[in-house]
Structure formats: C-alpha cells, structure tokens
Chain A
Amino acid sequence: MSIGRFLIIVATTYLGLLAVTFFIGRVIPIDPVLAIVGDRAPAHVIERTREEMGLNLPYWQQFLLYVKGVFQGDFGRSVLTTNPVMEDIRRVFPATVELATLGTLIGALIGVPLGVLAAVKRGSVTDQIVRVIGLIGYSVPIFWLGLLALLVFYARLRWTAGPGRIDVVFEYTFTPITGFYLLDSILRRDWAAFRDIFAHIVLPASLLGYFSLAYISRMTRSFMLNELSQEYIVAARAKGLSETRIIWAHALRNAAVPLVTVIALSYAGLLEGSVLTETVFAWPGLGLYITDSLQNADMNAVLGGTIVIGSVFIGINLFADLLYRTLDPRTRNA
C-alpha cells in the first residue's frame, strides 16, 4: 500500500467520523437553539442565537466551520462544567488510558499463554476450558460482572478498594504529575498513595483484562494452530529441537506478527469498552464524562468525547494495519 493511498484512507475515515458527529449534533435535533436558550426565549433572542451559531448557513458551510473548529481543538463549551470541552477531556483522558493500558497488559500476559496452551493441547480438557473462559468473556455484560466483583471483592471480602480512583485521604496530599496516578505515585515515591491507587485500579483493570483476554486467547489459539501445521515445525522436530523451543521460539515468534495487531485492536476496544466499566466503578475517565454528560443532555461534551475516542480508535486501527504490513515481509509488496 502506497503512502498516498494510506493518507487518503486516514483522511476519509476521519472526515466520515466528523460527518457522522456533525449529523448527530446539528441535523437530528429539531432545533439546537431551543436546547440552549430554552423554549421561553423571545423571538429576537432565538434569531440572534441562530445567527451566532451559523445555523442560517447551508449545511455544507456549517460542516466546514465545524471541521475547522474540531481541528483547532474547539468542541464548544460543556453546559455541565462550563469549561471548554477540550479542557475537560484533557483532564479526564489519562484516567481512561491508564485503565485501558493496564487492562490490555493483563489481557495479553494471560491471554497469549492460554491461547498457546489451548492450541498445543488441541481438543483436550485444557482446550475446552480455555474455550469456555473465552466464550463467557464474549457473552457476559461487563457492567454486571463489575457490580458483582465490587460486591464480592470490595464489600464482602475487603480485598480491594471500592469505586473511584484514589481515596479522599490522599486528595490533598497527592498531586499528580502526568495524570497517570500509578506512575505519579512512583515518581513521587509516595508508597502509601501507590498502594491505595493500586487497590482501586486492580478490580476495573482485571475486568477489562478479562474482556480482552477472551479475544486475545481465541485469536492466539487460531494463529498458533495455523503455525503448528506448517512444514518448518516438522523440520524443527526432525532436527531434534525440544517441544518447548519449537512452541515458544519458533511457532509463537511467527504468530507474533498478527498477534501484535490483535492486541492493538483489543486496546482500542478497551478504550471504548471503558464507558460502561467506568460508570460502574465511578472511575473519573472519559467514559464516565460521556455518560454523565449524556444524562444532562450536554451534547457538546458527548460529541467531543465521541470524537476523541473515535479518533484514537481509528488511529489505533490504522496503526495496527500499518504495523502488520511493516512487520510481515510477506505483505510488503503484495
């Protein structure tokens, strides 16, 4: 794929995203002005607001203005917090990234070995168990599992901390640097805060981890089965290599290329999937921000959040695609 073609794909995909959010924000509502000034406003106020918002212009002109605004990082103001939406998002986004990153780490570190194991012992009880674990991961409502996890591990067993990101005790003593609290507490050498932050993040992160584990283990299994049936594996066996070495050094190494793509995709999926998890765990990230804004009909904030998550999601998708093409020499000149 040439660079020009890739750029066209990137550009059209992002324009498509903006077109859809524009459509949702400007075209579907019967009158966006009423949402701002209320239905008791006098006619001249309504007319002036229409003019100010540029609603008298044709749609294509409005869309161009909209795209221009988004590129300048202007998503309008949030009705709920009265801050510019971009400022709010900058504040809450690290919490979501931290959670999704940890979740993906857990999912990959457990999911890949499970998938390898299932492929090696194909058809065995282990294989069946891994399959069922995966299937349940695909079928369970994640917010429900989160509620049950809170009930069991926080309320009953007292193993973890409850909802939220950090205890109120640390509210004034702990000042974040990067916004990634685990990292910040290490940088500040504040071990009490680190323990507390870890106790808060472990439950939602494990939950997201399980979610991505289901996907990663299934894909690992099918990639590994594909590799293990190749002739070079037979050659390696004939050479007398140990089974461990064949599996981990030869087969997994070759399966690693599509696996990287899968892990990147599941990372993007977790960024999106965090919406429901964050709601359950009162995790102050972008997902909670979007749902809070939804409850208050704060469309600027909802659409701003949608665009940010959408952009990152698309970015990772395209990046994974590009990575696959670069890492696998077979696809280079295809």
Chain B
Amino acid sequence: MSLATMTRRDWLLSERPQSRMQARLGRTYVTWRRFSANRLALAGLAIIVALLIVAALADVISPHSPVIGDLRGSRLLPPGPEHWLGTDGQGRDILSRLIHGSRLTLFVVVLVAIIAAPVGLLVGTVAGYAGGWTDAILMRITDIFLAFPKLILALAFVAALGPGIENAVLAIAITSWPPYARIARAETMTVRNSDYIAAVRLMGASPLRIVILHIMPLCISSLIVRVTLDMAGIILTAAGLGFLGLGAQPPLPEWGAMIADGRRFILDQWWVAAAPGAAILIVSLGFNLLGDGLRDALDPRGGGQ
C-alpha cells in the first residue's frame, strides 16, 4: 500500500480530529467499515442501488413498451430470446413491465417514508420533550394506532377513499407512523435532561427551536434504520393492496397487480405471475438486509446480533 492511503486512513481514524468535518468524515468511515464487513448487508445495498438505477433508466433499458402489447402475435409467450421473461395476457413484455414497475415501488416506499417518518418524529419528540399530559395523550394515541391490525385498516381506508396508488400510499402511511413516534420519544427522553439542552435553554431558545434544531437531529439515525427495516413491509402491503385490485390501477405495471393479473394463467403460463413476485421478494430482501446491516453498523451495542 502506498503512503498516501495510509495517511488518509490515519487522518480519518484520528483520535483528535482538527475540524468538525474531519470528525464527521472519520465517523462515517468507521460506520462504513463496520457496515461493509457484513457481506449480506453489502448484498442488500447492491440490490437497492440496482433498483435505483433500473428505475432511473427505465425508459432506456426496457426493451419493449410496458403498456402496449402485441395482442395478435405475442400473447402469453414463454421466456425466450425476444422476451426474456415472456409476455402476459395482453402480449406485453413482462421484463419491460417489471422495469417500469420499479418506479412505482420506489414511489410508494419513498412517499410513505416521507409522510410517516416526519409525523412520527414530530409526535415522538414533542411528547418526549413536553412530558406530562401532552406526553400521556400523544403516547396513548400512538399506542392505540400501534395496536391496530395494519393491513386490514389500510384495506378499509382504501375502500373508503377509493382504489388508486395515491390512496394506497396514504392508507399505508396512516398506519405506519406509530413505531417512529415511539423511537423518537425514547431518544428524546435520553437527551432532554442533558447539559447541552439546558445550555441552549439558558440562552433563551424556545421549546420549538430546541425540539427542531437540537433534539430531532439526534433521532434521525435510529429513525433511518427503522424506516429501512420497514420498507420491506411497506412494499409487501402495497403489493397486497395491488393484488386485491385496490392499489395502482391498470395499465400501470405495479408488481402486486401483475401477480393478480397472472393468477388466471397460473396453471399453464406460470411465468406471468412468478416474475413480479420474484421481483418483490428480491427488493424486500434487499431492504431487509440493508436495514439489518445499518442497524448493526450504527448501533454496535445491541440489535439482533
């Protein structure tokens, strides 16, 4: 190894960082080393990166149109050189539909995370910092939502709101914020009486400022881990809603709806339903592996290991 890389590593691992940036980079480097020592976690990361690339380049790499098929010439073709994963009941190329479907999957996952995580963060930090009655009431509401059966409730919400991918996102988000509130509250409780919070308070910061600028950032890392671990569940719920015809509507290539579509042909043309299910399995597995790895890397003390 050359001298340059050695010194760079020493700089990163320095016990006495000279600047805030060096400290941050050093910490990131240590976390990354712990994360990348876990081969399964790396596999999860690779799957998710591949998903992002496929979704970004969907128009370029998909060989056929995802919504227009050749009804006359290419219905229900088995996997072959022209259609790698075969075609469905309307003569559409399944691979192209899977590639475009990755966008919908990401859309759902990202949107649910963007809606549910901040709500949970806000409820949890406010409850934890305020304490007293505010805490009791907010946490009771959280526990009530936590005790509900998620899938059934999401079903009922979509039934009332009407089917569609936006409503599915909303329904899943409504049922998935409580764990984030619990985590954020627990983190808040550990820091609320620390000296640095007292110092900020003495300087005259308002409770709102303290919560947003000084408590929320500390909750982010455990929240990210939990959100990543929940992503697989979100994907499965969304696919379940799609399978029941309550999620994305045709002709959108949503993976769950594609399985429902292939159900009619399961006995003779099994690949129509098999391919989208395998895609869901791989992506959920990726998120689970990534989440496990992140948890172990960011929190070396506990976790599942």
- Assess whether B256 is interfacial by the CB under 8 Å rule: yes
Which residues of chain B from 230 to 247 have any CB-CB distance to chain A below 8 Å in the complex?
A: 232, 236, 239-240, 243-246
Which residues of chain B from 135 to 160 have any CB-CB distance to chain A below 8 Å in the complex?
A: 140-141, 143-145, 147-153, 155-157, 159-160
- Assess whether A53 is interfacial by the CB under 8 Å rule: no
Q: Report the separation of the CA atoms of residues A232 and B259 in the bound assembly, to the nearest whole angstrom.
A: 52
Q: Report the separation of the CA atoms of residues A216 and B245 in the bound assembly, to the nearest whole angstrom.
A: 31
Q: Report the separation of the CA atoms of residues A276 and B263 in the bound assembly, to the nearest whole angstrom.
A: 13
- Of B152, B245, B256, B273, which is in contact with the most chain A CB atoms at under 10 Å from its CB? B152
Which residues of chain A from 1 to 50 have any CB-CB distance to chain B below 8 Å in the complex?
A: 9, 12-13, 16-17, 20-21, 24-25, 28-29
A12 CB contacts on chain B under 8 angstroms: 140, 144
Partner of A151, one of B145, B161, B270: B270
Scan B251-283; emit 1 where CB is below 8 A from any A CB, else 0: 000001001000100110010011011001100
B277 CB contacts on chain A under 8 angstroms: 140-141, 144-145, 147-148
Chain A: interface secondary structure? helix
* Stretch in B69-77, B119-127, B284-292 with 4+ CB within 8 Å of A: B284-292
Q: B149 contacts A309, CB within 8 Å?
A: yes
Task: Write the chain A residue with the least CB distance to B303.
Answer: A222
CB of B249 to closest CB in A, whole Å: 14
B143 CB contacts on chain A under 8 angstroms: 9, 13
B266 CB contacts on chain A under 8 angstroms: 147, 150-151, 155
Chain B: interface secondary structure? helix
Q: Report the separation of the CA atoms of residues A13 and B277 in the bound assembly, to the nearest whole angstrom.
A: 36
Q: Report the separation of the CA atoms of residues A23 and B45 in the bound assembly, to the nearest whole angstrom.
A: 40
Q: Residues of B within 8 Å of A, CB-based: how many?
A: 44
- Assess whether A313 is interfacial by the CB under 8 Å rule: yes
- Assess whether B304 is interfacial by the CB under 8 Å rule: yes
Q: Report the separation of the CA atoms of residues A222 and B304 in the bound assembly, to the nearest whole angstrom.
A: 6
List 19 extra interface pairs beyond A12-B144, A28-B161, A275-B152, CB under 8 A.
A12-B140, A16-B144, A29-B160, A135-B288, A139-B281, A141-B239, A141-B243, A141-B259, A142-B236, A144-B273, A148-B277, A151-B267, A151-B270, A272-B151, A272-B152, A279-B243, A279-B244, A295-B245, A305-B152
